[in-house]
């Protein structure tokens, strides 16, 4: 089955700096790669996703890149703000069905 | 946008009792819903795939008689934790995807249910 590894497990940045979280996956058939933000006591919220036919996608301060050959994808957050502090999960799936999640990254943005 | 509602948000029950958790897609129909379990500071673990009108598909190691799933309509799936024990205490989350295929319809998650078994 699919295996998703996520790094780092914790990340602390100063407000205004950039944050990068990286994930690798094992199943070359995976073609959908979403990123979720989970705040304490809440369910994950989709923040951005990318399909395998695209190499990069950007939405304001958030961007995701995908390297299919190397089987890795990354989340980039620029100009971080304290409200970006949360746990971020990457995932991989074939379609939006049964997803395999990374172990999560706890991002702390210091004001 | 697509909204998934989960109820209750938290529940405390006594050991040996059963607890039902509801997952509703509020503005779309979902033939498939997913149930996850999350331990503190850990990732989401898929428990089962709920299929409308048919039996749920359980992941390896998940007891189907312990975690009963019913997907009786296109907008509602329920997870019943039967004869709950303290080790069943956890955060349970559901998700669903609007129809149309993943290209246009990513997964949306409920806000989770915190179950505490005393």
Q: Is A37 part of the contact surface with chain B (CB cutoff 8 Å)? A: no
Q: Which residues of A touch B95 (CB under 8 A)?
A: 43
Nearest-CA distance from A27 to chain B in Å? 17
Of B103, B106, B109, which has the smallest distance from its Cβ to A43's Cβ? B109
For B47-76, give the DSSP string: EEEEETTS--EEPTT--TTTEEEEEEETTE
Q: pLDDT digits over B33-88, tens only?
A: 999 999 988 999 999 999 888 899 999 999 999 999 999 899 999 999 999 999 99
Q: pLDDT digits over B16-32, tens only?
A: 999 999 999 998 888 88
Q: Cα–Cα distance between A96 and A72 in angstroms, integer? A: 18
Q: Are B49 and A98 in contact (CB under 8 A)?
A: yes
Q: Cα–Cα distance between B102 and A33 in angstroms, integer? A: 11
Inspect the interface and report whether the beta carbons of A96 and B49 lie closer than 8 Å. Answer: no
Inspect the interface and report whether the beta carbons of A44 and B32 lie closer than 8 Å. Answer: no
Q: Number of Cβ pairs closer than 8 Å across A and B? A: 58
pLDDT tens digit at each of 111 positions of chain A = 889 999 999 999 999 999 999 999 999 999 999 999 999 999 999 999 999 888 999 999 999 999 999 999 999 999 999 999 999 999 998 875 678 999 999 999 999
Nearest-CA distance from A43 to chain B in Å? 4
DSSP 8-state assignment for residue B30: -
Query: In sequence order, what are the residues at sequence separation of 6 or more whose Cβ sits closer than 8 angstroms to the Cβ of residue B68?
Result: B79, B80, B82
Q: What is the pLDDT of residue A111?
A: 93
Inspect the interface and report whether the beta carbons of A96 and B32 lie closer than 8 Å. Answer: no
């Amino acid at each position: 089955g699919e295996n998703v590894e996520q790094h780092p497990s914790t990340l602390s940045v100063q407000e205004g700096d950039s944050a990068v979280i990286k994930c690798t996956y094992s199943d070359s058939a995976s073609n959908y790669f979403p990123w979720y933000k989970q705040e304490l006591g809440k369910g994950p919220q989709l923040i951005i996703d990318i399909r395998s036919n695209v190499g990069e996608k950007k939405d304001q301060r958030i961007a995701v890149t995908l390297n299919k050959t190397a089987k890795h994808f990354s989340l980039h957050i620029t100009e971080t703000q304290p409200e970006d502090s949360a746990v971020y999960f990457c995932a991989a799936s074939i379609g939006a069905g049964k997803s395999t999640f990374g172990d999560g990254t706890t991002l702390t943005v210091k004001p | 946008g697509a909204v998934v509602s989960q109820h209750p948000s938290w529940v405390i029950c006594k050991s040996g009792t059963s607890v039902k958790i509801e997952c509703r897609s509020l503005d779309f129909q979902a033939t498939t819903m997913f149930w996850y379990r999350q331990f503190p500071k850990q990732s989401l673990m898929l428990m089962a795939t709920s299929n409308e009108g048919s039996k749920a598909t359980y992941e390896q190691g998940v007891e189907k008689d312990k975690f009963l799933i019913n997907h009786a309509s296109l907008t509602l799936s329920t997870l019943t934790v039967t004869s709950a024990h303290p080790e069943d205490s956890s955060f349970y989350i559901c998700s669903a995807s609007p129809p149309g295929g993943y290209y246009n319809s990513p997964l949306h998650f409920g806000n989770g249910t915190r179950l505490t078994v005393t």
